Amino acid sequence: MLDSNQQSRDLDYSIHKLSVVVPMFNEEELAADLIEAVNAALINYPHPWELIVVDDGSRDLTWLNLSVHAQKVGPHIRLIRLLRNFKQTAAMQAGIDAARGDVIVTMDGDLQNDPQDIPALVEKLLSEDLDMVAGWRQNRQDGFWLRKFPSKLANRLIRQVSGLHFQDLGCSLKAFRAPVLRKVRLYGEMHRFIPAWLATVTSPDRMAEMAVAHYPRTKGQSKYGLSRTFRVLLDLLSIHYFLRFGSRPGHFFGGLGSLVTGFGLLILAYLGILKLSGESIGSRPLMFVGFFALVSGLQLLTTGVLAEILMRTYYDAGKFNSYHTLRASNVGVDDGWHQAD
């Protein structure tokens, strides 16, 4: 019996449907421009496509501007409004969940990515039988200290932790095979680590990078800053753990617990020998160290067992969303696609 990875590769992607997912937050000045730019880039795309814009709880006129312009352009522009600002990762996951295409492309809503690069990304994905093609902003048009320098540090750390040798893991412009992308769920700030998460369900050899255009922001304000560097460091700890022990947490806690328990037992055995030799050990600090090491080791072993139970429950349970939708376009599976004449 074929696994789902093999089944997704056996699909005929020469005839496919494309979904473009774009999260936006407080981008009232760019809302109409984004729809217009993507529509112009894909107006002659030879296969059915849709644009899904997720308003991540904007507090300005982003939703109104999106709604007005989407009605003018056509039903292939689908809008999702989240109940509040759940951050970019949750908004991106909401768009991925709503996407109906065989191929999914993600990009930022600030128009620093060029929608004209989308067809080339999809062509590389399909013609080379890949599961993901990531954009590489070779000539990045951002400030050095606030954007480029933190990004270089983050990319280097991510490469070392994940083992993926991508030049630009932070670029949101990426193309995916939908069946493979749907195997991972995005939480927290994990949109930066999608290639690393995909490496848990497919081979890194089936992922590639392609140079894409990048432009300076012309309207609105950037939502990024130095604070994201610290969030990346915290997320790296999580991804380091999940990549190595996500499906076997008992090995991590059990190994650590065995080490600490063994250390405690050695101390107590040494003190026991001293006691048999007639020495007093009741007031020795080493006795407290051995006792607490033994207790801590047993707790870690117990935590490993509980973590195994929790992970089995997680994998057996259904999907849980990291967002709540206020409203979304209501279209059927076969409705709302744009098809070139």
**Residue 30: is its pLDDT beyond 80?**
yes
Beta-strand runs (E) in 57-206: 77-82, 103-106, 132-137, 174-177
The total domain count for the chain is 2
* Best CA proximity match to 154, nearest among 126, 119, 180, 189: 189
Shared domain for 199 and 268, answered yes or no, is no
Q: Tell me how far apart the alpha carbons of residues 322 and 87 are, in angstroms, rounded to a whole number.
A: 10
10 Å CB burial of residue 156 (0-12, 13-18, 19+) is exposed
Shared domain for 170 and 257, answered yes or no, is no
pLDDT value of residue 227: 57
Mean pLDDT is lowest, of 60-74, 129-143, 152-166, for 152-166
Shared domain for 73 and 27, answered yes or no, is yes
Tens digit of each residue's pLDDT (9 = 90 or more) over 73-88:
999 999 999 999 998 8
Greatest CA separation for the chain: 96
pLDDT value of residue 315: 60
Q: Tell me the average pLDDT across 100-113.
A: 93
Shared domain for 149 and 277, answered yes or no, is no
Confidence of residue 218 (pLDDT cuts 50, 70, 90): confident
Q: Tell me how far apart the alpha carbons of residues 17 and 148 are, in angstroms, rounded to a whole number.
A: 34
Mean pLDDT is lowest, of 4-8, 55-59, 148-152, 238-242, for 4-8
Residue 41 belongs to a domain with what CATH number?
3.90.550.10
**Residue 148: is its pLDDT beyond 60?**
no
Q: Tell me the average pLDDT across 105-114.
A: 92
Q: Tell me the average pLDDT across 128-132.
A: 94
Shared domain for 307 and 218, answered yes or no, is no
Place of tokens 């050095």: 144
Query: Which residues form the domain of 28?
Result: 4-245+320-328
Residue 278 CA, chain-centre distance (Å), reads: 61
Shared domain for 236 and 141, answered yes or no, is yes
Mean pLDDT is lowest, of 27-36, 91-100, 216-225, for 216-225
Shared domain for 303 and 187, answered yes or no, is no
Q: Tell me how far apart the alpha carbons of residues 243 and 120 are, in angstroms, rounded to a whole number.
A: 30
Shared domain for 214 and 298, answered yes or no, is no
Tens digit of each residue's pLDDT (9 = 90 or more) over 290-302:
889 999 999 988 8
Cβ(95)–Cβ(54) below 8 Å: yes
Cβ(45)–Cβ(15) below 8 Å: no
Shared domain for 167 and 139, answered yes or no, is yes
pLDDT value of residue 245: 72
Residue 272 CA, chain-centre distance (Å), reads: 52
Whether 124 is in a domain gets the answer: yes
Within 10 Å of residue 60's Cβ, how many Cβ atoms?
14
Shared domain for 49 and 142, answered yes or no, is yes
Whether 341 is in a domain gets the answer: no
Confidence of residue 304 (pLDDT cuts 50, 70, 90): confident
The pair of structure tokens assigned to 14 is 């020469």
**Residue 177: is its pLDDT beyond 70?**
yes
**Residue 125: is its pLDDT beyond 70?**
yes
Q: Does residue 332 or residue 30 have the better pLDDT?
A: 30
